[in-house]
Amino acid sequence: MSSRRLAPTARRRHRWGSPLTAVLCLVLVATSLPSQVPVTLLPPTTVASTGSAATESQTLAADIQRQVREGIDVAAQRADVAPFDLLGVSWAGGAREPVQVRVRDQGGWSEWRQLEAEGDDAPDPGSTEGAGARVTSEPVWVGGADGYEVDLPEGVDDVQVHLVRDQQSSAPEQVVIAASRRQAKGGGPAISSRSSWDAREPKTAPTIAPRLAMAFVHHTVSTNDYAAGDVPAMLRGIQAYHMDVNGWDDIGYNFLVDRFGGIWEGRAGGTTRNVVGAHAAGFNTSSVGVAVLGDFTTTAPSAASVSAVGQLLGWRLGLARVEPKGTAAMPSGDGTRSFAAISGHRDAAATECPGQELFARLAEIRDQADAVPAPVAQRSGRPHVPS
């Protein structure tokens, strides 16, 4: 996305840089305003500590809030922020349109990245967990940035930028891989436990559905060039954002898969139980959500991650006696809606998730899942009872 100024007749967007406590120096530019615009200092920031990650929420000053609501194009930049690892934006009211962000690190300013406003990647409507009134963007992992710039849709109000900082160093790559994985029940793939990435305890006991009917595949809109040792911190950051910013009970996904083929336990409740997640609003009950770490809008997922998703879902759907290449009828309103047993998030909602490149691999994932041998409990003739 170009950073050029917009003509007075064009639709206006708003770019502003990272506000912090202490003195805030802003340069405001608006094609329809004088070059100097009075600015009010920001109120104190809010920090929510999770024990393993801290979320800092920064609120726009009142004068800036007013200009954003009125559609005035506001530009500002400050790049001396304490390093942060994950970023997201929220607001009250206004459209659920995408937000554009870029960050600064040692290599300079990144390219602009589009973050969708979360609305369907969320808890089910009507649930206590999904009662939040604010609109939140997807979070993006940036891994040590020290500045940011945001381009917002006009008309939004009470804008906040949320920065998550990991509070512990990740273990060396060989330690993470060797110590964190355990074989799944019933002959399934090795899965890294929640304790291996130092997950926070959920706010409430998990909800367990009576059956599992299908799976949704997601991506996390994160960087694609992370190291294996970065993965635990990435998971801690996503969980902190989901719990501290979105207000959810836990990380939204049931499982996460990294680009090296590692499988990680996400939401608490047990890998063999039908835990209701917060990943496909309206269809969380009776589905399992698997997110691949990365952004696959234009970048292809690794062969290792595609294979891991196939192996995971072949085992997990097999425990529930669901055919990976079959279909599922999911409750929707007063009727039902039909899905492929392994679907992409975009099959259920107006979203780009899981990115075109990963979505194009779903047929391969179904083939790989279908080739997974039946779990031990099924081969023995015993029905699987979630533990």
pLDDT of residue 24: 35
SS3 assignment, position 19: coil
Query: 170 Cβ partners below 8 Å, 6+ apart?
Result: 176, 229, 230, 231, 232, 233
Compute CA 276 distance to the chain's CA centroid, rounded to the nearest angstrom.
17
Q: Rounded to a whole number, what is the distance in angstroms from the first to the last CA of the chain?
A: 49
Domain map (residue ranges) of the chain: 14-35+42-166, 173-379
Between residues 273 and 131, which one has the greater pLDDT?
Answer: 273
| Percent of the residues in the chain that have a pLDDT greater than 90, as a whole number | 51
* pTM: predicted TM-score of the whole model, two decimal places: 0.82
Give the per-residue SS3 of 259-297. Answer: CCCCEEECCCCCCCCCECCCCCCCCCCCEEEEEECCCCC
pLDDT of residue 354: 95
**228-247: per-residue pLDDT in tens?**
999 999 999 999 999 999 98
Q: How confident is residue 351, by pLDDT bands cut at 50, 70 and 90?
A: confident
Compute CA 363 distance to the chain's CA centroid, rounded to the nearest angstrom.
23
> What average pLDDT score do residues 10-23 get?
40
SS3 assignment, position 1: coil
Between residues 178 and 120, which one has the greater pLDDT?
Answer: 120
pLDDT of residue 324: 97
pLDDT of residue 283: 93
CA distance 287 to 261: 22
Which range, 49-63, 111-125, 244-258, has the best average confidence (pLDDT)?
244-258
Between residues 279 and 173, which one has the greater pLDDT?
Answer: 279
pLDDT of residue 183: 58
Q: What is the mean pLDDT of the chain?
A: 80
SS3 assignment, position 151: strand
Q: Is the pLDDT of residue 77 over 70?
A: no
Determine the residue type at 379: R
pLDDT of residue 344: 96
CA distance 377 to 387: 13
pLDDT of residue 5: 28
pLDDT of residue 30: 32
Q: How confident is residue 9, by pLDDT bands cut at 50, 70 and 90?
A: very low
CATH number of 173-379: 3.40.80.10
Q: How confident is residue 169, by pLDDT bands cut at 50, 70 and 90?
A: low
CA 46 vs CA 41, 49, 125, 168, 221: distances in Å: 15, 10, 28, 20, 25
CA distance 175 to 229: 9
pLDDT of residue 32: 34
Instruction: Determine the angle formed by the axes of helices 303-319 and 362-370, rounding to 10 degrees.
Output: 50
CA distance 338 to 185: 29
Q: Is the pLDDT of residue 117 over 90?
A: no
Compute CA 140 distance to the chain's CA centroid, rounded to the nearest angstrom.
7
| Percent of the residues in the chain that have a pLDDT greater than 70, as a whole number | 74
SS3 assignment, position 217: strand
pLDDT of residue 282: 86
